[in-house]
Amino acid sequence: MSQLFSPYQLGNLTLANRIVIAPMCQYSAEDGNASDWHVIHLGNLALSGAALLFLEATAVEPDGRISPFDLGLWSDENEAALAKVLDSAHRWSDMPIGVQLAHAGRKASVDRPWKGGHQLGLNEGGWTVHAPSEVGFESYPRPPRSLTGGDIARIVEAFAASAQRAVRLGLAAIELHAAHGYLMHQFLSPLSNRREDEYGGSLENRMRFPLAVFDAVRAVVPAGYPVGFRISGTDWVDGGWDVEQSIAFSKAAKARGADFIHVSSGGLSAAQKIPLGPSYQVPLARAVKEATGVSTIAVGLITEPEQAEAIVGTGEADLVGLARGILYDPRWPWHAAAALGASVKAPNQYLRSQPRQYSKLFA
């Protein structure tokens, strides 16, 4: 029996298999509101046969958007727009959909990637960005302002308020974005956090803000509701965030009730030196899993069914995350099930597409 296609439990959420669709920014929202693009995009992925689909990084306040076109969940208008998209997806698919709640910090106020991704000027629709310290992201000309204690408290409450909206919308899980150089990662890494108060300096202090966000979110969601973190396992820069600190953070998160850790890497510094290759981030997930026992999601150039099967089957991670690969091949779980002799759920409208040689592919 394929381990990749065996069920898994995250809190009170039962997953049909071990394939997770990771959050992927679409830069197609309007004032934080989901658009028709999201109906097409999420509807397509909801028919893929994966077990869980995470919405893209979803800002908890307007200044927390990466770009002016990011999805948001800070207002009633945002909530209503997303409800329409989710209703459409759930009408045709029972795939659980979760959300990644995020704040971009010093990496906010940029243009869409296909427009160059440069930091937008204040006369171009950009805004003043904030961070743990007045240490800018290398390629951005406008430095951030350091967050005050009051700012930090406000952002913690913004995460909690967005979490309440997520629960009302019927979203199945919450992932807190502490990776890729965004705000919570900026607090964690000594490269970006130069504070001298209770939020900076020691590892305990640098972990304080993201753990406060977790506690605030956990306090407003139902018992058993899955909440976890996405982290960068390492900055890939000497003197920065590394796997040992990731393990310490994951232990602290698990002790507070975190249901999973989604392990990626990098994104904080242009000085990063990433050894790209198949499964290049899986050792980071394995290290976290072995040291903490927390459920882990591995991601990063996982492209082949046998590769994903080995990651789960050997216990390197509990789940595998697909991102750009599933945009390229939205039926990747179907093809993986066929290759591994497993079965997958398909919509009734597509049942006749089952190839003759895979007569038991569609459960």
Catalytic residues: 182
Structure tokens at 166: 């997520």
d(CA 115, CA 32): 19
Least Cα distance to 176 among 240, 251, 137, 226 occurs for 226
Half-sphere exposure of 328 (CA within 13 A, CB side): 8
Asked whether the beta carbons of 320 and 299 are under 8 A apart, the reply is yes
Q: Chain-centre distance of CA 3, in angstroms?
A: 23
Structure tokens at 79: 């909530």
Give 62: exposed, middle or buried? Use CB within 10 Å, 0-12, 13-18, 19+.
middle
Structural Rg of the chain based on CA atoms: 20
Q: Strand 8-10 and strand 13-15: pairing? A: antiparallel
Give residue 75's identity as a one-letter amino acid code.
S
- The rounded distance, in Å, linking the Cα atoms of 294 and 348 is 36
Given a contact cutoff of 8 angstroms between Cβ atoms, the answer to whether 189 and 182 are in contact is no
Number of alpha carbons in the 13 Å side-chain half-sphere of residue 31: 7
CB atoms under 10 Å from CB of 363, counted, come to 12
Residue whose entry in the numeric block shows the structure tokens 């309007």: 30
- Please give the DSSP secondary-structure letter assigned to residue 121: P
Q: How many C-beta neighbours within 10 Å does residue 13 have?
A: 17
Q: In angstroms, rounded to a whole number, what is the distance separating the alpha carbons of residues 224 and 217?
A: 13
